[in-house]
Amino acid sequence: MDDKVNVTFILIDGYVELHKYRYLYFVMMLTVYILVICSNSTIVYLIWNHQNLHEPMYIFIAALLINSVLFSTVNYPKLLIDFLSERQIISYPACLFQFQMFYSLSASEFLLLAAMSYDRYVSICKPLQYQTIMTKTNVNVLLVVAWLVPTCQIAVFIVLIAKKKLCAFTFKGIMCNSTIQTLHCVRTTLLNVYGLVVLVNVVIFPIIFILFTYTRIFIITYRNSREVRRKAAQTCLPHLIVLINFSCLSVYDVLLLRIGTEFPKSVRFIMTLQMLIYHPLFNPIIYGLKMKEIYKHLKSLFCKMP
């Protein structure tokens, strides 16, 4: 690449034997992308179409699934283009946009899960106050906060790094994540500190809040009958499974990459694909099979098909 191209474009060097498996990668990822869109959209449609699912818990589930669709739509088209391209490159502005959307939507996942845990806490621990607390207005406020707060905080980070000079133009990954900072000529303490603040605000605090609310739910339901415990587990367990799944996948990107550990290219590639493939498909499966009301409508929908 000449000097003019180097200023604008970054070479993506995270694919493993792309020349050999490009068509296999393309077919596999296109299939997964279609499955992600169809599975998540189907459950969102069921929630939107059935009046008995117009409750805060299901609205938050729909928001979570929409978040998965947005997350996949930001990342999959670029991957599919790369698989069929002779040179895998991305402009620096486009890389920053992908960074913004990747982390904003990932952080929104944690905040939406926190909102869902609060909804379950009020429903189980304060049932008489549920209707007055979880009003339509309050639900909308929680949704706006879950999407807006991460977007604004990550946007500040983007502004801070947008004008930093690049001294390297080869990126050891397949999508722009936190390691984009390794391309900068100088890594500043300010960015590291601000990144840590954002991590605490949109990841650590929500996880602590979720663990606190579910602990309270466990303590209160433990004192009640077996039927109460069963119903609580039925609604809370899927949320906890999704939280554990997403947290484990996020550890690699948020922590391991930030400490500068050098992983083999194949490990980086596989771990990134785990994040892109596993979680967006995991959510609709868990909520579709584990949430009784959704499963009932889902079963009815497929039974009606010829």
Residues 104-130 pLDDT 10s: 998 999 999 999 999 988 988 888 898
pLDDT at residue 255, rounded to an integer = 61
The pLDDT assigned to 6 comes to 42
- Residues 35 and 194: beta-carbon distance below 8 Å: no
pLDDT digits (tens, 9 = 90+) for 130-175: 899 999 999 999 999 999 999 999 999 898 888 788 888 888 888 8
Q: Crossing angle, helix 18-49 and helix 56-84, to 10 degrees?
A: 160
Q: Quick check: 182 pLDDT over 60?
A: yes
For the chain, domain boundaries: 3-304
Give the model's pLDDT for residue 305: 58
Distances (CA, A) of 21 to 15, 119, 191: 10, 46, 37
**Confidence category of residue 254, pLDDT binned at 50, 70, 90:** low
pLDDT grade for 37, boundaries at 50, 70 and 90: very high
The arithmetic mean of pLDDT across residues 249-265, rounded, is 65
Q: Among 22-36, 210-224, 282-296, whose mean pLDDT is lowest?
A: 282-296
pLDDT at 297: 77
CA separation (Å) from 186 to 148, 251, 259? 30, 25, 16
| Residue of 128, 190, 137 whose CA lies nearest to 159 | 190
In the prediction, which pLDDT does 139 show? Answer: 94
Q: Give the sign of the dihedral formed by CA 5, CA 9, CA 15, CA 21.
A: negative
Please tell me the predicted confidence (pLDDT) of residue 306: 53
* Beta carbons within 8 Å of 304's beta carbon, 6+ residues apart: none
Q: What is the pLDDT of residue 2?
A: 43
With 60 as the cut, is the pLDDT of residue 3 above it? no
90 φ, ψ (degrees, to nearest 5): -150, 140
Instruction: Return the top range by mean pLDDT from 118-122, 195-199, 246-250, 300-304.
Output: 118-122
CATH topology of domain 3-304: Rhopdopsin 7-helix transmembrane proteins (1.20.1070)
